[in-house]
Amino acid sequence: MSRYGLDNLPYGVFSEPGGSRRLGVRLGSRVVDLSPLGGLLAQPSLTPLLAAGRARWTAARAAVIGFAASAPGIPLTGVTLHLPFEVADYTDFYSSQWHALNVGEILRPDAPGLPPHWRHLPIGYHGRSSTVVVSGTPVARPAGQLGRGVFGPSRRLDVEAEVGFVVGTPGRRIPTSAFADHVFGVVLVNDWSARDIQAWEYRPLGPFLAKSFATSVSPWVVPLEALATIDAPVQDPPPLDYLLPAGPGFDLRLSVDWNGTRVTNPPFASMYWTAAQQLAHLTVNGATVRTGDLYASGTVSGPSRDEVGSFLELTRNGTEPVKLADGSLRGFLLDGDTVTIGGTAPGAGSNLIGLGEVTGTVVA
């Protein structure tokens, strides 16, 4: 069965050659133009629907399922896909304990292990909205300071495979129980990272130029309704009250392909903090989220080497290169390399559904 059947129907924005942007859903290898449905579905962006709230999302989905079942659709090969919504604030978390442990061990060998607060709150930071780009956008290798007195193109360009959550309804102090009232759906995210720039710049205010040159997202926003939920992971120590109940987990299985070679399969179910907890934490201080806010999970890494979500971890900071299908070795990204992050999830029905793909090619 297709992973883009009527039980999935992720939303995206497309255009045909010379045509304007329209909202559509993916059905198999076609996109169904939603403009005949009018109203919020006849817009050049997903943003108006995002702003409309959970009741309208549910109604829209019902209408879209009925319409898509008999719509001819347009082959995906004939359309261009665009960033599906206007990104308001972009934040990124650090919620995989395996990733945090690996990074600590590789980059801070003098103090390995999790930071003391890691199991008490979902650590996060703000990223750059202006450079969130849609899958397929070439990624120019960033230049910057690579160390004391050294300037040039990054030599340790990396990826981070993540899952992004798209906020529809604005709010502040959002309890975990209200997660699905505010979050519309999910995208896949590649948080491109220049490790040499990062190592030199990040103290004490966090990553800045190491991340801000590009963040790629998949063109398809999978509605929460399409996803089955699982129990959240066990958390020890028990989180503070404002982070409870933990909210749903999602059993997403990611894949990372490096020039067509599958190098890892990061398991989202292994994440420590849930998306509901991340949203509750983000807003507990009174900060507002807006329609179009995007918050990402942080690199998804499981406990084994073939489950990590970054090449820093996969190649132990470049010291243990991986062999690609063409026989070449890689520590970090070379110009011309293409990375594609894909994913599947148990759907709300019995089927596996696809999460779209986020791909990007490094250019000099």
Residues forming the site for a second copy (CB under 8 A)? 88-89, 91, 94, 108, 115-117, 120-121, 123-131, 140, 142-145, 148-149, 151, 194, 197, 200-209, 212-214, 237, 240-242, 281-282, 284-290, 293
Nearest to a second copy of 12, 124 (CB atom): 124
Strands 215-217 and 132-134 come out as: parallel
- Beta carbon of residue 151, minimum distance to a second copy (angstroms, whole number): 5
In order of 101, 125, 248, 310, 321, the CA distances from 263 in angstroms are: 20, 28, 28, 10, 11
Question: In this structure, are residues 186 and 168 in contact, taking their beta carbons and an 8 Å threshold?
Answer: no
Tokens of 329: 């070795």
Query: Nearest to residue 275, comparing CAs of 172, 127, 163?
Result: 163
Q: Which residues form the catalytic set?
A: 99
Radius of gyration for the chain, computed over Cα atoms and rounded to the nearest angstrom: 20
Nearest to a second copy of 213, 220 (CB atom): 213
- Beta carbon of residue 241, minimum distance to a second copy (angstroms, whole number): 7
Nearest to a second copy of 120, 323 (CB atom): 120
- Beta carbon of residue 50, minimum distance to a second copy (angstroms, whole number): 15
- Beta carbon of residue 219, minimum distance to a second copy (angstroms, whole number): 20
CA–CA separation, 28 and 224 (whole Å): 19
Query: Nearest to residue 199, comparing CAs of 189, 187, 208?
Result: 208
Tokens of 249: 């987990």
Question: In this structure, are residues 24 and 4 in contact, taking their beta carbons and an 8 Å threshold?
Answer: no
- Beta carbon of residue 15, minimum distance to a second copy (angstroms, whole number): 22
Tokens of 326: 């063409």
Nearest to a second copy of 162, 225 (CB atom): 162
Nearest to a second copy of 220, 332 (CB atom): 332
Tokens of 340: 């594609």
Give the N- to C-terminal CA distance of the chain in Å, as an integer.
Answer: 40
Question: In this structure, are residues 225 and 141 in contact, taking their beta carbons and an 8 Å threshold?
Answer: no
Nearest to a second copy of 172, 262 (CB atom): 172
Residues in the chain: 364
Query: Nearest to residue 26, comparing CAs of 301, 192, 220?
Result: 220
- Beta carbon of residue 198, minimum distance to a second copy (angstroms, whole number): 10
